[in-house]
A and B are shown apart, each in its own frame.
Chain A
Amino acid sequence: MSKRRPYVRSKSGWWKKDPYYVEYMVHESTALFVAAYAIVLTIGTVCLAAGEAAWNGYLEAMKSPLSIIFHLILLAAIVYHAFTWFKLFPLTTPPVVLGGKKLEPELIVRGGWVVAVGVAVVSFVIVWGLA
């Protein structure tokens, strides 16, 4: 008879056991803040479609101190999400070979940031121009 008795360790609380996992879980959780902001914008669009009164009501609500605090929290969470997302960017990108050399992960991360900041600035300028 076999004397084997392989022992399987419990996985409970696995994400608290290594700072790397904690960062991963915080990163994944902050996606909820991105979703929350998408909902805020969707409500704005619905109000805009519902007419001037609803839209003005939405704008007023956005100006309340509670809303500003909420937006600051969202901003912090989304910046953290973006930061940790770009850190993982090289993991998800197919190997890019330029001039016979593989592109350094650091350059991929920086490239991601340049595009993200560029798009944000251009969007801001366009919206500012429209306003």
Chain B
Amino acid sequence: MSEQKIIEIEILRYLPESDQEPRSEIYKVPFTDDMSVLQGVQYIKDNFDGSLTFRWSCRMAICGSCGMMINGIPKLACENFIRDYYPKRITVEALNNFPIEKDLVVDLSGFIEKLEAIQPYIIPKEPRTVEQGEYIQTPAQFSEYIQFTSCINCTLCYAACPQVGLDPDFIGPGAMALLYRYNRDSRDGGEAQRMEVAASTEGVFVCGATGYCSEVCPKKVDPGNAVNVNKINAAKDYFLRFLSPKGGAK
């Protein structure tokens, strides 16, 4: 039998009841080649320190709960393997740009508010009764927005975005991808309402086009593209109102 391999996992701990500020702790974790970083963190909780706090659920990169900074990069802990870091030490920290609630758990309330602000649901263009039947959509119309439906709200893009860190009120890449997803849906009629958020001072123009959000997205949603295309759309709205009869007034 081969020798048991051990990896060092350094975790940024923060216990609000006893710590003034976060501190690092290093754990020596025995692992097998099929173990994810999430399993490594779970091993620590089960065997070394039961107070270690982190979010997780599905273990297969679909629930979006286990986002962490792994060696400084925002990643889902469940889809990255310890073997790929071995023999170097793995550092694990709560997602950047969010306040740390406890250990690896961040305060997501700001993100939830942003998500609500963009109205991430269909606002029907023409409301239909049950008797009138379903809303018809062609495959071509569906393909218009399918990419942006893949968002799992993991907020890795928020942790990657320097602007979110510098201006915490920035609506941010993930919510903007969903805004774009509903605006491009042929059944939806809520674009005008959503574009008010996109064009606001906390909207798309806060983005400095770093592009790291799209790079770290585990679902290839390309939220940075949604933000930047909406810069064009917001600018178009602004200039076209000079051509409309009422100057864009409602």
Q: From residue 223 to 238 of chain B, which have CB atoms closer than 8 A to chain A? A: 224-225, 228-229, 231-232
Q: Which residues of A contact B232 (CB under 8 A)?
A: 94
Q: Is B191 an interface residue (CB 8 A)?
A: no
In the complex, A92 has a CB within 8 A of chain B? yes
* Per-position binary interface string of chain B over residues 206-250, scored 1 when its CB falls under 8 Å from any chain A CB and 0 otherwise: 001111101100000010110011011000000000000000000
CA A82 to CA B99, docked complex, whole Å: 37
Return the chain A residue nearest B232 by Cβ. Answer: A94
**Cα–Cα, bound, A94→B14 (Å):** 42
Is the pair B99, A8 in contact by a Cβ cutoff of 8 Å? yes
Instruction: Report the bound CA distance from A94 to B144 in whole Å.
Output: 11
Bound complex: CA A100 to CA B144 (Å)? 10
B162 located at the interface, meaning its Cβ lies under 8 Å from any Cβ of chain A in the complex:
yes
Report chain A residues within 8 Å CB of B229.
92-95
Contact present for B100 and A88 (CB under 8 Å):
no
- Contact check, A7 vs B22: say whether CB atoms are below 8 A apart: yes
- CB pair A5 B212 closer than 8 Å: no
Contact between B100 and A9, CB atoms less than 8 A apart? yes
A15: chain B residues within 8 A (beta carbon): 162
Known A-B contacts A24-B210, A92-B209; the reply to A7 vs B16 at CB < 8 A is: yes
Q: Does A20 make an interface contact (CB < 8 A)?
A: yes
Report whether B211 and A88 are in contact in the complex, using a CB–CB cutoff of 8 Å: yes
CA distance A120 to B229 in the complex (A): 27
- Residue from B143, B147, B228 within 8 A of A91 (CB atoms): B228
Taking the closest CB of chain B, its distance from the CB of A61, in whole angstroms, is 36
Interface pair A11/B165, CB less than 8 Å apart: yes
**B209 cross-chain contacts in A, Cβ below 8 A:** 88, 91-92
When distances are taken between beta carbons in the complex, the residues of chain B under 8 Å from A102 are 147
What count of chain B residues pass the 8 Å CB interface test? 32
On whether the beta carbons of B165 and A20 are closer than 8 Å, the reply is: no
- Distance between Cα atoms of A24 and B231 in the complex (Å): 19
- Whether a CB of chain B sits under 8 angstroms from the CB of A21 is yes
Q: How far is the CA of A28 from the CA of B211 in the complex (A)?
A: 13
Contacts of A24 in B (CB 8 A): 162, 208, 210-212
Interface size for A (C-beta < 8 A) is 26
Verify A20–B21 contact, CB threshold 8 A: no
Q: Do B166 and A7 touch (CB < 8 A)?
A: no
Q: CB-nearest residue of chain B relative to A94? A: B229
Say yes or no: is A90 at the interface (Cβ < 8 Å to chain B): yes
Give Cα distance in the complex from A93 to B226, angstroms. Answer: 9
Say whether A6 contacts B228, CB under 8 Å: no
Nearest chain A CB to B222 CB, angstrom units: 8
The answer to the question of A4 belonging to the interface, with a C-beta cut-off of 8 Å to chain B, is: yes
Q: Contact flags (1/0) for A66-96 with B, using CB distance below 8 Å?
A: 0000000000000000000000101111110
Does any Cβ of A come within 8 Å of B46's Cβ?
no
Taken residue by residue from 8 to 41, chain A's Cβ proximity to chain B (1 for < 8 Å, 0 otherwise) reads as 1101001101101100100010000000000000
Q: Contact at A3–B99, with CB atoms within 8 Å? A: no
- When A92-B209, A94-B232 are in contact, do A17 and B16 touch as well, CB less than 8 Å? no
Q: Apart from A11-B166, A17-B72, what 15 extra A-B contacts exist at CB < 8 Å? A: A6-B99, A6-B100, A7-B14, A7-B99, A7-B100, A14-B166, A15-B162, A24-B211, A24-B212, A90-B225, A91-B222, A92-B209, A93-B225, A94-B229, A95-B229
**A-B interface, 8 closest residue pairs, ranked by CB to CB distance from nearest:** A6-B99, A5-B16, A92-B228, A7-B100, A91-B224, A11-B165, A94-B229, A91-B211
Interface residues of A (CB under 8 A from B): 3-9, 11, 14-15, 17-18, 20-21, 24, 28, 88, 90-95, 97, 100, 102
